[in-house]
């Protein structure tokens, strides 16, 4: 049984919990709490769990006794001596009400063919389960999940190296950081080419992230632990808000990879960072400031951002100017629509490098249009790594070539950008698909675009009121 088979079988176990009133979001939490115990046994990680509260102890019981023991186990884990285990189970509880449903879930997990699965396989299996949850529209988790093929392309182009500090300030379930580690492991023969001190650095200091949502943070800690990454005493991923003072404590990075959440700050108001030159309630613009300010000199970043970051006026324009001054914003990739499960959101990847000075680092920007005249990606037409090959070739060319008005890769000087009022929302290809009646945007897509434009207008109004000294009511 391969990894995909086990992922499918695990996901199908959700049918057991439907009669217990468990939502999709609760389901993935319930399943991962149990599957983590099983995977911990398979990988030998369970020696870090409290004695008497491991998978074998749980399966040795049944019925109401097993149910009460499981609830006791969750409490015991939260106070475990191992700080990482305690962090994983912080606030964990179960929504399962029927002992028979818990017993059936445990029995079915135990019946799966785990024989021969390596630590890497189990980690991939866990990621597959998270991706399955994201692709299930009923779960509502898709807006937080970055397609793995996009992550792999970004990581490959960024070429992470052993010894570098790699950060994701909006870590989610740690997809970017784990992909970077996987890349480095391949380049170093699974760390074999590194000495003991270098290996210790990779496992404990190389990767750092922050995640705001407790349940997602729990999944990220499980995921990194199963991939043999330890982090500091709080794990690889810290629980907190990167747009608050907590974000200021993240270490300066050699490389930042991220897909910050879409939207405005909940409840209105501005991020509580006193180091931002340009306060804004637009979360993407705030994260962008965090990222380029958080790079070491010569540090590089690849960040997924929606279109409004490229064209928003006022504070948005000032942040783009600051980015182009402090960094060499050398490449923008216009991504196809439909690749995120939150349909209708138009996104880009910005690639930039922090300069030695804080002025005039961007001389020209190369824009690759992977959006116009592309298929409508989804379950019927999945996005694959092959879709990025032409872009990767153009990006990595020793001498880049402007392909002209009919091509996908164009170069714009800093002077050209200034003439556009520093808008980076640049397109030149005629998108024939927009004229095709079969490709009329879905209502959800139109609504998503309208919401982005509305948020941009709200941001402009809030920032204008702030400049006038007027209070913005939540």
Q: Domain of 439: which CATH number?
A: 3.40.50.150
**CATH (domain of 115):** 1.20.1260.30
β-pairing, 347-354 with 327-334? antiparallel
- Check: CB of residue 377 under 8 Å from CB of residue 439: no
**Do 84 and 43 sit in the same domain of this protein?**
yes
Question: Does the pLDDT value for residue 42 go beyond 60?
Answer: yes
Q: Is 175 inside a domain boundary?
A: yes
**Do 295 and 252 sit in the same domain of this protein?**
yes
Find the mean pLDDT for residues 101-124: 75
The confidence score (pLDDT) of residue 474 equals 45
Q: Residue 219: name the closest of 203, 237, 234, 194 by CA.
A: 237
Q: Which of 110, 131, 152 marks a domain boundary? A: 131
Q: Is 473 inside a domain boundary?
A: no
**Do 24 and 157 sit in the same domain of this protein?**
no
**Do 427 and 333 sit in the same domain of this protein?**
yes
Rounded distance, CA 178 to CA 170, Å?
Answer: 14
More confident residue, 324 or 215: 324
Rounded distance, CA 161 to CA 163, Å?
Answer: 6
Q: Which of 94, 109, 131 marks a domain boundary? A: 131
Q: For 136-258, where are the alpha helices, taking DSSP H only?
A: 148-158, 175-187, 196-204, 214-226, 245-248
Question: Does the pLDDT value for residue 142 go beyond 50?
Answer: no
Q: Dihedral of the CA atoms 179, 182, 184, 189 (nearest 10)? A: -170
**Do 153 and 114 sit in the same domain of this protein?**
no
Total domains in the chain come to: 2
Rounded distance, CA 283 to CA 212, Å?
Answer: 13
- Check: CB of residue 139 under 8 Å from CB of residue 17: no
**Do 279 and 427 sit in the same domain of this protein?**
yes
Question: Which pLDDT tens digit goes with each residue over 426-456?
Answer: 999 998 866 544 444 555 555 555 555 565 5
Q: Which of 102, 131, 160 marks a domain boundary? A: 131
Q: Is 204 inside a domain boundary?
A: yes
**Do 341 and 210 sit in the same domain of this protein?**
yes
Query: Residues of the chain with pLDDT > 70: what percent?
Result: 81
Q: Is 468 inside a domain boundary?
A: no
**Do 127 and 144 sit in the same domain of this protein?**
no
The confidence score (pLDDT) of residue 18 equals 72
Rounded distance, CA 372 to CA 24, Å?
Answer: 34
**Do 188 and 249 sit in the same domain of this protein?**
yes
Q: Is 472 inside a domain boundary?
A: no
**Do 32 and 50 sit in the same domain of this protein?**
yes
Q: Which domain holds residue 78?
A: 3-131
Give me the sheet containing 253-258, strands edge to edge: 237-239, 207-211, 166-168, 253-258, 295-306, 347-354, 327-334, 364-369, 409-413
284 Cβ contact list (under 8 Å, min separation 6): 260, 262, 305, 306, 308, 309
Q: Is 7 inside a domain boundary?
A: yes
Q: Is 474 inside a domain boundary?
A: no
- Check: CB of residue 250 under 8 Å from CB of residue 169: yes
Q: Is 147 inside a domain boundary?
A: yes
Question: Does the pLDDT value for residue 225 go beyond 70?
Answer: yes
**Do 168 and 290 sit in the same domain of this protein?**
yes
**Do 229 and 368 sit in the same domain of this protein?**
yes
Rounded distance, CA 95 to CA 214, Å?
Answer: 16
């Amino acid at each position: 049984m391969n990894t995909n088979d086990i992922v499918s079988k695990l996901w199908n176990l959700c049918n057991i919990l439907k009669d217990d009133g468990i939502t999709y979001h609760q389901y993935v939490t319930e399943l991962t709490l149990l599957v983590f115990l099983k995977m911990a046994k398979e990988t030998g990680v369970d020696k870090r769990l409290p004695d008497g509260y491991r998978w074998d102890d749980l399966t040795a019981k049944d019925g109401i006794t097993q149910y009460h023991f499981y609830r006791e186990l969750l409490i015991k884990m939260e106070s475990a001596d191992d700080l990482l285990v305690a962090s994983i189970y912080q606030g964990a509880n179960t929504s399962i009400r029927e002992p028979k449903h818990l017993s059936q879930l445990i029995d079915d997990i135990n019946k799966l063919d785990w024989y021969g699965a390596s630590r890497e396989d189990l980690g991939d299996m866990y990621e597959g389960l998270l991706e399955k949850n994201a692709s299930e529209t009923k779960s509502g988790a898709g807006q937080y999940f970055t397609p793995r093929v996009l992550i792999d392309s970004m990581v490959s182009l960024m070429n992470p190296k052993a010894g570098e500090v790699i950060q994701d300030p909006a870590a989610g379930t740690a997809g970017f950081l784990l992909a970077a580690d996987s890349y480095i492991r391949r380049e170093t023969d699974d760390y074999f080419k590194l000495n003991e001190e270098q290996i210790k650095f990779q496992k404990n200091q190389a990767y750092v992230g922050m995640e705001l949502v407790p349940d997602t943070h729990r999944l990220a800690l499980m995921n990194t632990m199963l991939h043999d990454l330890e982090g500091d005493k709080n794990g690889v991923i810290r629980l907190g808000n990167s747009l608050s003072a907590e974000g200021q404590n993240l270490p300066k990075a050699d490389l930042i990879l991220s897909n910050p959440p879409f939207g405005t700050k909940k409840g209105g108001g501005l991020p509580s960072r006193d180091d931002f030159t340009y306060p804004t309630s637009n979360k993407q613009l705030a994260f962008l400031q965090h990222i380029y300010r958080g790079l070491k000199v010569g540090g590089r970043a690849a960040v997924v951002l929606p279109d409004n970051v490229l064209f928003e006026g006022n504070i948005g324009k000032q942040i783009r100017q600051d980015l182009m001054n402090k960094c060499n914003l050398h490449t923008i990739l216009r991504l196809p629509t439909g690749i995120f499960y939150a349909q209708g959101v138009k996104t880009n990847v910005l690639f930039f490098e922090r300069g030695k000075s804080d002025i005039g680092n961007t001389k020209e920007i190369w824009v690759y249009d992977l959006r116009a005249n592309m298929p409508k990606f989804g379950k019927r037409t999945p996005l694959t790594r092959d879709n990025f090959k032409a872009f990767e070739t153009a990006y990595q060319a020793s001498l880049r070539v402007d392909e002209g008005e009919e091509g996908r890769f164009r170069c714009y000087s800093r002077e050209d950008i200034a003439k556009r009022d520093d808008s980076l929302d640049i397109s030149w290809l005629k998108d024939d698909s927009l004229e095709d009646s079969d490709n009329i945007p879905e209502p959800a897509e139109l609504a998503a675009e309208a919401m982005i434009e509305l948020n941009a207008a709200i941001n402009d109004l809030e920032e204008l009121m702030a400049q006038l000294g007027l209070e913005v009511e939540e």
